[in-house]
Amino acid sequence: MQISAGRCPAECVWVVGRLAPQLAEALAGRGLKVEEIDRTSGSHVGDARSVLFRINGPEAPTQVADWLGTIQWIGTSPYRPRHKRKNWFVSVAVFAEPVADPWNERNLRIETLRASGPGGQHVNRSESAVCITHTPTGLTTLAQEERSQHLNRRLALARLASLLAARADDQAHAAEDERWRQHTQLERGNAVRVYRGADWRRER
């Protein structure tokens, strides 16, 4: 779950910094485990451009639903007291966390087959090549360079580990891109929650 000020002014960054602990406390009070895993700080102490939480617990998607969307704080700017604007908006959104592919033998389908290519009679008669498929993802690797099936198995496993690492990296980058997109796009109005004043009195 991410709280973000988007590209809004310093006042919204101030709001994120004050809203984050309130959100964490509220969700913890609902029996959820809340862990802050990333924070982009603002220019002033306590401010934050964005805060990213990991949320776990029973029925978490339902438990956090009433926080999702635009949140409005109504009040005088803490940095520009004479500023006419009184309405400041931040956003709260959820993202699926990339899941690392578990390295478990039960998730692997290992096949042996005859190697192809140069190698003479040994290639034709021995099933030294090894093909490994990671069934949850469908990723497949083949190793047939070595004369030993054992060595080809190790080589195929190493290649599969590399593919899974690259896949996890791609997922992490995709999640980061989505968080950045959400960070830069903030819809004003239609707030799901409205707070007012220095005491953060909730009006909606």
Mean pLDDT by 10 residues, the chain (204 residues): 88 96 97 92 94 92 94 95 93 74 79 69 65 92 84 84 82 74 64 94 92
Domain contains 65? yes
Which CATH number goes with the domain that contains 50? 3.30.70.1660
**Domain-located, residue 181:** no
Q: Rounded distance, CA 73 to CA 203, Å?
A: 10
What range does the domain containing 14 cover? 2-98+186-202
The reply to whether 113 falls in a domain is yes
Residues 132 and 190 in one domain: no
The C-alpha R_g of the chain, in whole angstroms, comes to: 26
Q: Tell me, what's the pLDDT at 89?
A: 94
Q: Which two tokens stand for residue 1?
A: 């779950």
- pLDDT value, residue 146: 76
pLDDT score at 203 = 92
**Same-domain check for residues 40 and 65:** yes
In this prediction the pTM is 0.62
Specify the number of domains making up the chain: 2
pLDDT of residue 117: 56
Query: Is 117 within the bounds of a domain?
Result: yes
Instruction: Residue 138: give its domain's CATH number.
Output: 3.30.160.20
Helix (H) or strand (E) holding 149: helix 149-184
Do residues 113 and 163 both lie within one domain? yes
Same domain, 192 and 92: yes
Same domain, yes or no: 110 and 66: no
Task: For residues 136 and 138, give the distance between their C-alpha atoms in angstroms, rounded to a whole number.
Answer: 6
Same domain, 79 and 19: yes
Shared domain check, 69 and 12: yes
Residue 143 burial (C-beta neighbours within 10 Å; 0-12, 13-18, 19+): buried
Strands laid side by side in the 33-41 sheet: 33-41, 48-56, 2-4, 87-93, 69-74, 193-196, 201-202
Residues 82 and 109 in one domain: no
Q: What is the pLDDT of residue 20?
A: 97
> Residue 177, exposed/middle/buried by CB under 10 A (0-12, 13-18, 19+)?
exposed
**Whether residue 36 is found in the same domain as residue 21:** yes
In a domain, 60, yes or no: yes
Please state, in angstroms and rounded to a whole number, the distance separating the CA atoms of residues 15 and 107: 46
Give the pLDDT confidence score for residue 92 in this predicted structure.
92
Residues 136 and 59 in one domain: no
Claim to verify: residue 33 and residue 80 sit in the same structural domain: yes
- Tell me the CB-side half-sphere exposure of residue 19, using CA atoms within 13 A: 33
Query: Could you tell me if 22 and 66 lie in one domain?
Result: yes
